[in-house]
Chain A
Amino acid sequence: MEIVYYTGRGLPPYLSQHNLSSLQLCLGHFYESRNLFKSISLQEYTGNTHSNIFLMIKDTMSKGNPIQGGVKHSEITVSIPKNTKITIQEYMSFAQDTKTQYVLSFAEEAVIQSGYKRAQRSAKNAVLALDECLNYPISGKLLGNVQGGDDIEARVLCLKEMIKRNIDGVWFGGFYADDHGVANRDIVEAVSEYLIDYKKIIGLSGPGRPLDIVFAASKGFTHFETFWPFKLAGEGKALSINFENYSLEEDNIIDREYQEVTIDLNNTDFRFQKGPLVPGCKCMTCTHHHAGYIYHLLTVQEMTAHTLLAIHNIEIFENLKKFISDLKDQNKLDQAFSTFVRNFCTSPAEY
């Protein structure tokens, strides 16, 4: 189980001085500098020598459609830098030059809610592209980039083809963040039955809400890309979850739309609030600073507020990792989602 934190260009938002174990980097930010990577790895170049790098084509944070006109399976136009055409061969040689540890196969990703035909085509193209990727050797691990938009049938077809290939895992891309950050649980659920005996990496891109991560983890997913801790930090919010105390829940049927408990530090209630964001939290922010101080920093628009909140939210995500691993060790992963919802979530009405 691993969390892959969003960075885009290699600087985790608000946290450029912190070592995170796995990071997502986006091709487009480095493509103009590609000649440099004959002499330096992407890890070294971005100052992330302690982190595993996951190279992806798309930038989760980009609003709208970051990849345009990628209708052919062998060529993609990336909008950053300005509408640059990149072929599979170029992508794979970039991955090799940069010595990136994990490489998602080449694929067109912007296909959510774009219709049945487009979804089918993206799934087929992703398989064709993967086959071409396999022609180019890389030192890192190649992960099949499963496409098919929000079409379950297309996703399953794509997955079934990909797991036949000699690759190091599969990765479900193409989920975008909406305001609620809800990844498509139906797809996660539907594909999980084909993954029961798949002992390799099973990754999920997307906004990476804890709730979605726990759900996918309970369905056998192993790796999760996220920018949720940074998104919340940017809004002045802290995840308020204490993983020390919870009771295991077996009830799996949860109809209502729940949300993780967060606290909004913009709220004037915090003006005089002494003590940590979350009692018992061991993060640097909670052990050194009052909630009231963070309220103040938000009020006067000091960026340190976001840094301190990101540090805290990352801690919660690292604890989430442990929560899931512990349940897995106890063979209780199937209870993870209901346990998480019952103990740490609130319904929107109470929110």
Chain B
Amino acid sequence: AIEWSLKFRVDASVNRARAGHLDLPHGGVSSPVYMPVGTKASIKGITYNEMKEMGCEILLSNTYHLGNFPGTEVLDHFDGLHSFEGWSGNILTDSGGFQMVSLLKLANITEAGVEFQSPVDGSMMLLTPEESIRIQNSIGGDIMMALDDVVNPMSTPERLEEACHRTNRWIDRCIEGHNPIKPQNLFGIVQGGLDLRLRDISLAGLIPKDLPGYAIGGLCGGEKKDDFWKIVAHCTDKLPWDKPRYVMGVGYPVDLVVCACLGADMFDCVFPTRTARFGQVFTTKGFLKLRREEMKNDLTPIEPGCQCSTCRKYSKSFLCEAFHKEEATCYLLSVHNIYFLLNLMRRLRQSIVTNTLDAFVKDFMVNWFGGLENVPKWVFDAMKEAKISLE
């Protein structure tokens, strides 16, 4: 069996929620943690120095994009992504499968792997579990994701079940294909759509592999909130306590808080940078859209007291005026949004350590939704499951 280098410990817990710590090749990561996404080895004009200053300990990068550009030849030449991009913290890479299925029209999944048409020359290509791991070995991320059979949760029950079994078969091929030059850690992905029975099949196949961590996949934001939290709760309940759990593609602040309360530790999403492009920012009082007409005389920052470099320097008035005319301003908004999520998770972790999680969550929800009466029922239900009182 492979000796994985990741060491995970739970420093404190409140019911299902954990204040964890991941010991990884490029330093420690305190969890729960939001992982900003540097798709093509960069985060929208934000330098890695700035990411460090924001307290970011782990970034996510996309195998599919990096496999295309710069490609493994270049990555190998530079001795992996850390050295290539000059990031000294940790990196998690996805498997590339999700990107293919979502970005490419002609992706077809067979037992061999994901068949797709090359965006470069139009030829048919195949991403196998072995090939995904080979690229991820070249990238040299601290955490790699196993290639899974990505399937739309609205597919037929037969297709969903097939994806589940196939993902479990592919895990062995991923492990087989793993040929690292430096220490790396492989996470398996729990599949099964919205069907608890299928989730159990997936869990039963994965857990015996004794991987260093597990991800909960197949939750893409299209499902009902009730289904979403129940799947997370179901999976975190069955996954081993002493391994980190990563809910993929979740970046909405309320979802992060709910999932962390249900025992999830890691999250990633491009939402903070994507929504910044439309002039939307997170605040403790919910979403804020920068509107020039309303805010041109507002000299307060996006979030009073926020320690991000944008809030320390700029008022809403200035940002609105600049955003109105200068596209680059979305960079300033991205800085705030990323900081907001990093800080939200830090504060949540602290409340676990000090055993004040109930008060923290209540405070967060009341502020976000503008009063306890506006907090949706699904949040109450999820918090009941997490044994967190909002009353």
Q: Mark B300-336, 1 if CB is under 8 A from A, else 0.
A: 0000000001000111011001100110110110010
A308 to B41, CA, bound (A): 13
Smallest CB–CB gap between A183 and chain B, Å? 26
Supposing A36-B317, A290-B84, A297-B42 touch, asked if A17 and B309 sit within 8 A by C-beta, the answer is yes
- Report B-chain residues with C-beta under 8 Å of the C-beta of A87: none
- Report B-chain residues with C-beta under 8 Å of the C-beta of A13: 328
Q: Check if B299 is an interface residue, CB within 8 A of chain A.
A: yes
Number of interface residues of A (CB under 8 A): 38
Task: Let me know if B86 and A290 touch, CB within 8 A.
Answer: yes
Partner of B318, one of A32, A46, A302, A303: A46
Task: Let me know if A302 and B85 touch, CB within 8 A.
Answer: no
Partner of B74, one of A10, A35, A271: A271
Task: Let me know if B78 and A304 touch, CB within 8 A.
Answer: no
Which residue of B has the minimal Cβ distance to A13?
B328
Which residue of B has the minimal Cβ distance to A288?
B86
Q: Check if A121 is an interface residue, CB within 8 A of chain B.
A: no
B residues 37-77 near A (Cβ < 8 Å) are: 40-50, 65, 69-70, 74, 77
Which residue of B has the minimal Cβ distance to A287?
B86
Q: Mark B83-122, 1 if CB is under 8 A from A, else 0.
A: 1111000000000000000000000000000000000000
Interface of A is mostly: loop
Q: Check if B296 is an interface residue, CB within 8 A of chain A.
A: yes
Query: How many pairs, one residue from A and one from B, have CB atoms within 8 Å of each other in the complex?
Result: 103
Q: Mark A19-60, 1 if CB is under 8 A from B, else 0.
A: 000000000010011011001100001110000000000000
Q: Check if B389 is an interface residue, CB within 8 A of chain A.
A: no
Q: Check if B297 is an interface residue, CB within 8 A of chain A.
A: yes
A positions within 8 Å CB-CB of B: 9-11, 13-14, 16-17, 29, 32-33, 35-36, 39-40, 45-47, 271-272, 274, 284, 288-290, 292-293, 296-297, 299-300, 302-308, 311
Q: Which 8 A-B pairs have the closest CB atoms?
A: A47-B313, A304-B42, A302-B42, A303-B45, A289-B86, A288-B86, A300-B40, A296-B70
Known: A300-B40, A304-B44. 19 other contacts (CB 8 A): A9-B325, A9-B326, A11-B322, A14-B328, A32-B296, A39-B299, A47-B313, A47-B314, A274-B77, A274-B78, A288-B48, A290-B78, A296-B84, A297-B40, A300-B69, A303-B331, A304-B47, A307-B47, A311-B47
19 A-B pairs in the complex with CB atoms less than 8 angstroms apart? A9-B321, A9-B322, A11-B326, A29-B325, A33-B317, A33-B321, A45-B299, A284-B47, A290-B84, A292-B74, A297-B42, A299-B69, A302-B44, A303-B331, A304-B43, A304-B44, A304-B47, A307-B47, A308-B47
